[in-house]
Amino acid sequence: MSPNGSDTIIGDIALTSVRKKPEELRSHRWYGVNDLRSFGHRSRTAQMGYHPSDYMGKPVIAVVNTWSEINSCHTHFKQRVEEVKRGIWQAGGFPVEMPVMTLAEPFQKPTTMLYRNFLAMETEELLRSYPFDGCVLMGGCDKTTPGLLMGAISMNLPAIFLPAGPMLRGNWNGRTLGSGSDTWKYWAELRAGKITEDEWKGVESGIARSPGHCMTMGTASTMTSAAEALGLTLPGFASIPAVDSRHAQYASLTGQRIVEMVWTDLKPSDILTSKSFDNAVTTVLAMSGSTNAIVHLVAVARRAGVPLTTARFDELSRVTPVIANIRPAGKYLMEDFFYAGGLRAMLAELGDLIDGTQRTVNGKTLSENISDAEIFDDDVIRRRDNPLVPNDGLAVLTGNLAPNGAVIKPAAMEAHLLKHRGPAVVFKDYADMAARIDDEALDISADSVIVLQHAGPVGAPGMPEWGQLPIPQKLLKQGVRDMVRISDARMSGTSYGACVLHVAPESFVGGPLALVKDGDFIELDVHARRLHLDISDAELSTRQAAWKAPKRPFERGFGVMHQLHVTQADKGCDFDFLEEHVRADSDEPDIH
């Protein structure tokens, strides 16, 4: 967190040059003109108890809130939205809370990923169709961050992101627990008979004990940190724990800042560049962030008109050390990361790997925002000359099994599997795997390669986080804790293991993963970035010709739109008709 005062955090208003006049505000078209429709807008605003002095000539700010009673990570947003509004009022704006679809990772089925694009569409359309001049985006739980950013970037009104903040460390019997990571760990221990049912219940009650998003380096911590590195949050905000009083203070400062961003017309298109996306990718890599960030950042970048590719992740991965010592790749949790100096300190330590000239929402450059940052515990945030892993936080693989790429997280797998050759054990879908994985008669050993088909963007549907395929119970009992596993699914960022993910194109649409049979040998070579199905090209062609497209899963509703328009993992899984960057003033509603 910045040790500076709030003026430094939210930027120096006196430095700003061109300022809008009130009649140039977008909301002026609803409120400021004198005709029949504006009469309706004003009279109905009066109906809500507001006097014209509350809103006339002032920036109207949408506070886009993903709070709901089913989103356990956002329970504090009911209070935070009031603090954001306080800041907006203080700065002379008019706040309007806009509830949007919540994407509650633990509860929404089949997966929140199916609905990320729904949230993006909802955000964009709300901003377009109502009299907003700017917006505060309140998110944090996994897909909420990319969903909100994608929608706001496409609309391109001034926008600032409010990260939910990580929850406190989990605690049980004197031990620290990390979201997800320790769930998988103790679930494996339970299945192996190493802990009792009573102990398992203790883990259940202590692993999530405060508001806030997962406090391991899961998708939430990864994406909120990426949003800050992109320049879309106040500096230091993404690392502050949700229940820390400074989180509330920053919520208010965020409200103050968006009003000034409207007057100076500071939009996402003024902030987001290929270099700012490189900064975000480098941040993800230095944190050994969630593999999900690849899909999300590619989608966010394409909304911004930046052609970010998975190959760019791999290029930057080769030169970026992992210096955030956070689970699952490391030892600590996000609360420790904050006390050690937070993201600002980590970005400062990355030095020339970060382009500090990039603009941010407070009107300053990234360099200016981190110039006074310090590391207070260099075991939590390692120095560059003492990294957790020297490089390869993530790796992008290609080969005849994944012509358009696949992803693996070398920092979170057993090193002896980095180069591996083994016979495939194939499951045709999740139900097949659930039914047979623990069958004592299953012909499988620690050298086998577990393959799951039909778990991608179209087929599963929605590319669920099934990619940490379970290790068979009989192998767990023999002490096996990691195996090579391959799927077109995603994996929770809190997970670990030699899991090859995001295989593209996916098996459901005829990608080569669909053609693997039991006993085929598969070769993984992470250093060579290679994923190879060891059968002849002629045999591969024969199997391809015999492949038949399965029936698509949806017959009605949003799912039909999804299965017709979702792109593959290497393109970010956005809808094909939403990828282009569209400026706000090119598609405005005709309100008169």
Burial class for 582, CB neighbours closer than 10 Å (0-12, 13-18, 19+): middle
Structural contact between residues 272 and 243, judged by C-beta atoms closer than 8 angstroms:
no
Q: Considering the complex, what minimum distance in angstroms separates the CB of residue 226 from ligand FES?
A: 14
> Contacting ligand FES (CB under 6 A), which of 139, 146, 218, 457?
218
For residues 9 and 168, give the distance between their C-alpha atoms in angstroms, rounded to a whole number: 24
- What are the Cα distances from residue 227, in Å, to 139, 161, 223, 233, 239? 11, 8, 6, 7, 11
Which residue of 122, 142, 465, 570 would you call a contact of ligand FES, by CB under 6 A? 142
Q: Residue 148, interface with ligand FES (CB under 6 A)?
A: no
Task: Choose between 179 and 256: whose C-beta lies nearer to ligand FES.
Answer: 179
Q: Name, in order, each residue with C-beta under 8 angstroms of 269's C-beta and a sequence gap of 6 or more.
A: 153, 156, 304, 305, 581, 583
* Three-state SS at 351: helix
User: What secondary structure letter does DSSP report for 427?
Assistant: E
Q: Which is nearer to ligand FES, 25 or 214 (CB)?
A: 214
Which of left, alpha, beta for 134 (phi over 0: left; psi -120 to 50: alpha)? beta
Q: For the chain, first and last CA: distance in Å?
A: 47
Angle between helices 310-317 and 292-303 (to 10 degrees): 120
Rounded CA-CA distance 432/427 in Å is 6
Question: Do residues 504 and 405 make contact, with C-beta atoms less than 8 angstroms apart?
Answer: yes
Residue number with CB closer to ligand FES (214 or 234): 214
Instruction: Select from 106, 202, 305, 553 the one that contacts ligand FES (CB under 6 A).
Output: 106
Q: How far is CA 167 from CA 172, 261, 277, in A?
A: 15, 29, 26
Ranges within 167-196 binding ligand FES (CB under 6 A): 179
Name which of 242 and 424 has its Cβ closer to ligand FES: 242
For residue 586, count CB atoms less than 10 angstroms from its CB and return exposed for 0-12, middle for 13-18, buried for 19 or more: exposed
Taking CB under 6 A as the rule, does residue 559 contact ligand FES? no
Binding-site member from 30, 76, 105, 126 for ligand FES (CB under 6 A): 105
Query: From the CB of 436, what's the least distance to ligand FES, in Å?
Result: 29
Shortest distance, position 66 Cβ to ligand FES, whole Å: 11
Closest CA to 381 of 319, 326, 328: 326
- Given the complex with ligand FES, which of 164 and 486 has the nearer CB atom? 164
423 dihedral zone (left: phi>0; alpha: psi -120 to 50; beta): beta
* CA angle 7–12–18, rounded 5-degree value: 150
Least Å from the CB of residue 505 to ligand FES: 28
Query: Which 370-429 residues touch ligand FES, going by CB under 6 A?
Result: none
Q: By CB under 6 A, how many residues form the interface with ligand FES?
A: 10
Q: Closest separation between CB of residue 334 and ligand FES, Å?
A: 11
Residue 405 phi, psi dihedral angles, 5° rounding: 110, 160
Torsion of CA 273, 278, 280, 282, to 10 degrees: -170
One of 220, 223, 248, 300 touching ligand FES (CB under 6 A): 220
From the CB of 366, what's the least distance to ligand FES, in Å?
25
User: Strand, helix or coil at 225?
Assistant: helix
**For ligand FES, the closer CB: 185 or 552:** 185
Q: CB of residue 217 vs ligand FES: minimum separation in angstroms?
A: 11
**Residue burial 440-453, b: 16+ Cβ < 10 Å; e: rest:** eeeebebebbbbbb
Query: Residue holding tokens 């030095």?
Result: 351
Binding mask 21-60 toward ligand FES (x if CB under 6 A, else -) reads ----------------------------------------
Taking contact as CB under 6 A, which single stretch among the options 41-49, 187-195, 211-219, 514-522 is the one that binds ligand FES? Answer: 211-219
Separation CA 314–CA 335 (nearest Å): 29
Q: Which stretch binds ligand FES (CB under 6 A): 210-218, 369-377, 518-526, 584-592?
A: 210-218
In the numeric block, the tokens 């605003």 are attached to 45
Exactly one of 85, 213, 247, 257 binds ligand FES (CB under 6 A); that residue is 213
Q: Which stretch binds ligand FES (CB under 6 A): 212-220, 286-294, 356-364, 377-385?
A: 212-220
Binders in 276-305 for ligand FES, by CB under 6 A: none
Give least dist CB 155 to ligand FES, A.
25
Asked whether 335 and 370 are in contact (CB, 8 A), the reply is: no
Tokens at 570, concatenated: 């290497």
Judged by CB under 6 A, does residue 495 bind ligand FES? no
CB of 103 to ligand FES, least distance (A): 9
Nearest distance in Å: CB 154, ligand FES: 24
Which residue of 84, 119, 120, 141 would you call a contact of ligand FES, by CB under 6 A?
A: 141
Please identify, using beta-carbon distances, which residue of 106 and 510 lies nearer to ligand FES.
Answer: 106
Region of 45-53, 83-91, 213-221, 584-592 interacting with ligand FES (CB under 6 A): 213-221
Residue 219 or 453: the one with the smaller Cβ distance to ligand FES is 219
Taking CA 115 as the corner, what is the angle to CA 158 and CA 237, rounded to the nearest 5 degrees?
Answer: 40
Residue type, 184: W
Closer CB to ligand FES, 117 or 221, in the complex:
221
Give the three-class secondary structure for 64: strand
Residue 163: CB minimum distance to ligand FES, A: 11
Among 73, 96, 150, 451, binds ligand FES (CB under 6 A): 73
- Beta carbon of residue 495, minimum distance to ligand FES (angstroms, whole number): 12
Q: Are 138 and 232 in contact (CB under 8 A)?
A: no
Minimum CB distance to ligand FES, residue 106 (Å): 5
Cβ 142 to ligand FES shortest distance, Å: 5
Contacts of 417 by beta carbon, 8 Å cutoff, 6+ apart: 482, 483, 484, 498, 524
Q: Which of 64, 149, 214, 402 forms a contact with ligand FES (CB under 6 A)?
A: 214
Of the listed pieces 93-101, 214-222, 265-273, 441-449, which binds ligand FES according to CB under 6 A? Answer: 214-222
Question: What distance in Å separates the CA atoms of residue 137 and residue 254, rounded to the nearest whole number?
Answer: 10
Binding region for ligand FES (CB under 6 A): 73, 105-106, 141-142, 179, 213-214, 218, 220
